[in-house]
Structure 1
Amino acid sequence: MLRFSGVFAGLLSSGFLGCLAFSEASAQAAADPFRAWLEFRPRWEAADQDGVRPAEALTVRTRLGFETRAWKDLSATLEFEDVRSLYGNYNDAVPPAEPYAVIADPEVTEVNLAQLVWKPAEAFSATLGRQRINLDDQRFVGGAAWRQDEQTFDALRLDYAAGPVQASYAYVDRVNRIFGDDLDWDSNTHMANLRVSPGPSLELTGFAYLMDFEDGGAPVSNATYGARMTGVIAQSGRKLAYAASLARQTDYGGNPVSYEARYAAAELTLSDGPVAGRLGWERLGAGDGGAFQTPLATGHAFNGFADVFLTTPRDGLDDIYVGASYTSALALGPILKPAVSLTWHDFSAERTGADLGTELDLTTTFALSGDLSGVVKLARYNGAGGLSDRTRFWLGFTWKAWQ
């Protein structure tokens, strides 16, 4: 199995520096041989959960990145990331566990991106190195970008897009998870995704994700095959967006547990100008031996912001949710483009129908300038079925400057 860390990282850095040197040498011929960015994301999070001490954390994420322009069909990206805790008492989810509620933002300094991209034709590209991989709605593969330490992948990825067809394949050698280097997973994972757009209001996607993890990831190694349908129907200024997914999952690779489980989801979103309403249902089924799991998903975006169900319960999960949102094009003093959304979830066990509680999520986003934005979020989970009540609150800002 290939290993992208160590020597590989050195090779990538050398390749990047080589591209950068070329860019500097060609500065007179190209007005912008490369671009750079600097980002700060301070955030305060508070978590209150029955049975453990309340937690709070003031953290700040800093990123510094560079990207070269294409030269002989090659370009390079390098991004450094640092997460610091400025104040608080919390369990950062990295052993040893602290006696507080979990706020999964450990301190870490790392290379977040280190990739070379070869694009010999408009329809094809190949990406090698540490990179972001966000597939479809990120229900199965994503960057978990809500946490301060983003999930990235050491991988070789091939992309093809021409006309109505988009296809991607990735081999993942290592998963750089949100908990820092000590809890990353070595991987022998294959990801294939094929999307076809037969009409202006319909997209059909088929996917196969064969995930095999070493070390602590072995119990969630799985093979998932599925299909997804999405589209938007517009009439008289109103839009109806729809999405539906089906998938089947079995144990795979080093997983010591033999099981089979099913997944299904459906969602409708009706929007009229700045107002939108959403109704959805998601089922992560329970089969003989285990339940449907999504170890590489952007889990925070699904099944409630309180993060109660990042791991699917043994009896599976049914999530029925309804939400509404409003986005304003007006400015409220210094606040630009304010938006608010409210979502209510009703959870139950798929196998037994047992009540697993309800949750109410509130999100407000806004901009203070073109470079500065903010977010306020509140999640209140009312537990049932042995699960404890939880409340989470976030206040955060992101400032990003580009060269």
Structure 2
Amino acid sequence: MKGMVKVMLICLALVFGATVSKAAFLDDFTNALTNGKPTFEMRWSFEVSDLNDDADRSKAVGFNVRTRLGYRTAKLYDIFSAYIQLHNVTNITENFSWTGGGDASYDVIADPDGSRVHQAYLDISCPDGRGVFRIGKQEILFDDVRLIGNIDWRQNGQSFDAAKLNLKLIENVNFDAVYVSRVNDILLEHSDLRGYWFHLAYTGFENHKVSLFAYLNDFEDADYRDSATYGVRAFGKVPFQENVALRYDLTIAYQTDFADDGDAKSYRTVGSETLKEHGAMLFNISVATDWKLDLPYIQMGSIGFGYQMIEGADGSDKPFDTLFSTAHKWNGWADQFLATNGGALYLGLEDYWIEASVKFLGMSFKAVYHYFDTETSVDGLYNGYNDEYGQELDLLLVKSFNKNIKGLIKAAFFDAENDAEENGVPVEDEVVFWTRLMIKF
């Protein structure tokens, strides 16, 4: 992070050196500050989580509010601008636990209360609009947030201390290069690393986009996770008729060793296996059909299906680590498989799903059914279990009252396979319910 500060100071010094007079600079600087735009977000959340675990804890009940106040300056010399966002979560009802806190007699809701600076960065823009260099605390989202995201579903969210360069290399080609020094997580904690992330996107095909990525991570205190992840994503839509289109989304990623990984301190013994190297894949594909419907109360409908495979441990190879993903979006809203973030889902995962959605009376309704299977088995772990985890039904209803206010009701019902529970596989029956009201300006 010291290198980032040096770059920022050099850039500011260049501004001073190019300024004809200090008085003129102060006038311009004052105008940039006073002509900026404030931002405001408030999100009220009520959540109930009932996990049927062996500890027989009481169901978790949480009611809290997230408030974010921000201010974005106007541009100085059409080059410099800055943004700061202050964040607070206040728990009104706190009958729940989380990793490292809360009341351990209750089930988990991962929303500790507290305050922090969520974002604070400086933007340096190219005068021709072909690029932006951003340095400081910031959210970073790549593609469908399957590997890098802000975990915005949780009340605290995730941000990164980073330097990020975005360039439009040529027409329809965008390139991002990021150096990350710290991850600020959803538990109001942080971890240090040296992350080198690269993302290249091509948008020259009408209705289609292709991206290539490489995420190289050297963790400060978690050598087990040191890894290099390379992949490609292609997604888009194919119109069939005026009111019908086919959507598709395909991602393939491979993970191998990087930095200190391979030293004894990065080994982990699981069952009778010693996991030493990274050598796993992620594969994701989904297809959906969208209709625009000319009906009195129904405006749009969609039905689709998908498959995701996350490789588990194989001999001395570690499971695939989904890095800093917004995992809640993917393998069921009951969050039974968050261990993919961290590379600790040793049996891997095969997730088959079908989903349907409809827009009616100004509301959006979505239903998703998941069938979860293991991808592999590990000698000496869970009696060599290699069968299904269970199934889940997810339901969501969203209502936008206007452009600034939105509400939702959401539920997840996870049914664990009896054989999995009997063999000690870490899945349990669970029901989770949310209702939220979001205000944003």
TM-score exceeds 0.5: yes
Equivalent position SS for 2:224? helix
* 1:230 maps onto 2:270 in alignment: no
| Counterpart position of 1:149 | 156
Higher-Rg structure is 2
Native 8 Å contact 2:184 2:191 kept in 1: yes
CA offset digits 1:344-383 (Å, max 9, x no partner): 0000111155110000000111122332111111000001
Instruction: Provide the rounded CA distance (Å) in 1 between the counterparts of 2:224 and 2:143.
Output: 25
* 1:165 maps onto 2:160 in alignment: no
* 1:365 maps onto 2:370 in alignment: no
| 1:95 Cα deviation after fit | 4.2
Instruction: Provide the rounded CA distance (Å) in 1 between the counterparts of 2:332 and 2:3.
Output: 35
| Counterpart position of 2:46 | 44
Native 8 Å contact 1:211 1:252 kept in 2: yes
CA offset digits 1:2-53 (Å, max 9, x no partner): 487xx99x98xx99xxxx97567338xx9x7100022211100000001232
Give the aligned residue type for 2:320: F
Native 8 Å contact 1:243 1:266 kept in 2: yes
| Counterpart position of 2:297 | none
Unpaired stretches in structure 1, ≥5 consecutive residues: 331-336
| Counterpart position of 1:382 | 415
> Which residue of 275, 278, 289 corresponds with 2:301?
275
Unpaired stretches in structure 2, ≥5 consecutive residues: 14-24, 268-275, 293-299, 378-385, 422-426
> Which residue of 325, 328, 331 corresponds with 1:300?
328
CA offset digits 1:37-74 (Å, max 9, x no partner): 22211100000001232101001111110001111200
CA offset digits 1:284-309 (Å, max 9, x no partner): 01233321111300011010000000
Instruction: Provide the rounded CA distance (Å) in 2 between the counterparts of 1:108 and 1:251.
Output: 36
Instruction: Provide the rounded CA distance (Å) in 1 between the counterparts of 2:365 and 2:27.
Output: 46
Instruction: Provide the rounded CA distance (Å) in 2 between the counterparts of 1:103 and 1:21.
Output: 48
| Counterpart position of 1:74 | 80
| Counterpart position of 1:284 | 310
Instruction: Provide the rounded CA distance (Å) in 2 between the counterparts of 1:172 and 1:22.
Output: 34
Identity %: 28
Instruction: Provide the rounded CA distance (Å) in 2 between the counterparts of 1:98 and 1:213.
Output: 29
Instruction: Provide the rounded CA distance (Å) in 1 between the counterparts of 2:94 and 2:139.
Output: 30
* 1:127 maps onto 2:160 in alignment: no
Equivalent position SS for 1:26? helix
| 1:199 Cα deviation after fit | 1.5
| Counterpart position of 1:178 | 186
CA offset digits 1:108-150 (Å, max 9, x no partner): 2000110000111311110000011000000000000001111
| Counterpart position of 2:438 | 398
Q: Which moved more, 1:108-117 or 1:162-171?
A: 162-171
Equivalent position SS for 1:105? coil
> Which residue of 351, 355, 359 corresponds with 1:319?
351
- Superposition CA RMSD, Å: 2.4
Instruction: Provide the rounded CA distance (Å) in 2 between the counterparts of 1:263 and 1:2.
Output: 35
TM-score of the pair, normalised by structure 1: 0.89
Instruction: Provide the rounded CA distance (Å) in 2 between the counterparts of 1:87 and 1:26.
Output: 43
| 1:339 Cα deviation after fit | 0.3
TM-score of the pair, normalised by structure 2: 0.81
| Counterpart position of 2:223 | 218
